[in-house]
Structure 1
Amino acid sequence: MQEQKLIPLGLLCEQYRLELSFFEELGEIGLIEFTVYKGSKHLHQDALHQMEKILRIHRELHVNLEGVDVVMNILERQEQLRQELIRVQNRLRRFEEDL
């Protein structure tokens, strides 16, 4: 695993001015998945956008972590439905072109 793609949890605490327990709770709820590397927890850089979205919902909207979990599930479902709608529209477009 490439070390440069992992962000130490301690660095995240400093960067976002949050306690370690906050990030641990995110992991326990299942909102963020951490990787253990050299004995400490790290966040993969690909998950950084997701983590920042969670932080914005939590901080700016004052939503507790259980509420953030609900919001993230709703957003994920919305994206799935959007993708499904695009697929259906494309199929319909092909059908209309055949007429």
Structure 2
Amino acid sequence: MTMDTKNVITITEFCQHYDIPESFIITLSEYELVEISTESETPCIYVTEIKSIEKLIRFHFELDINIEGIDAISNLLNKVERLQEDVKSLNNKLRFYKEGD
């Protein structure tokens, strides 16, 4: 799949900027915590994932959480986010029905 290069950054550039090993991003990809794209045979990450990856970098390098722990935390945070969206949707429906009275 070919992407507009404005939407991706090479893993090498990203890792140099954040001073982290490229193997960290590869491992995140193996755990399906980040999606790697290949542009001209160069592994890249999507710019839209940078904020999420920054959070994972903090978990690992600042809080010393291993990859398995990051995977568990990430899955739990995603579930919490989905539940918050569900609650918001249900509150909106409830408000709609209350206004109809």
TM-score strictly above 0.5: yes
**Residue 53 of structure 1: aligned partner:** 55
| Unmatched tracts of structure 1, length 5 or more | none
The root-mean-square deviation of aligned C-alpha atoms, in Å, is 1.1
Displacement after TM superposition at 1:95 (Å): 1.5
| Unmatched tracts of structure 2, length 5 or more | none
* 1:27-62 residue CA offsets vs partner (Å, 9 max, x unmatched): 111111100111110011111111111111222222
What one-letter code is carried by the residue in structure 1 that aligns with 2:43?
K
- Percent identity of paired positions between Structure 1 and Structure 2: 28
Which of 55, 77, 82 is the aligned partner of 1:75? Answer: 77
Q: Distance in 2 between matches of 1:90 and 1:23?
A: 39
Displacement after TM superposition at 1:3 (Å): 1.3
* 1:3-34 residue CA offsets vs partner (Å, 9 max, x unmatched): 12211111112111111211111111111110
Q: Secondary structure at the match of 1:42?
A: strand
**Residue 32 of structure 2: aligned partner:** 30
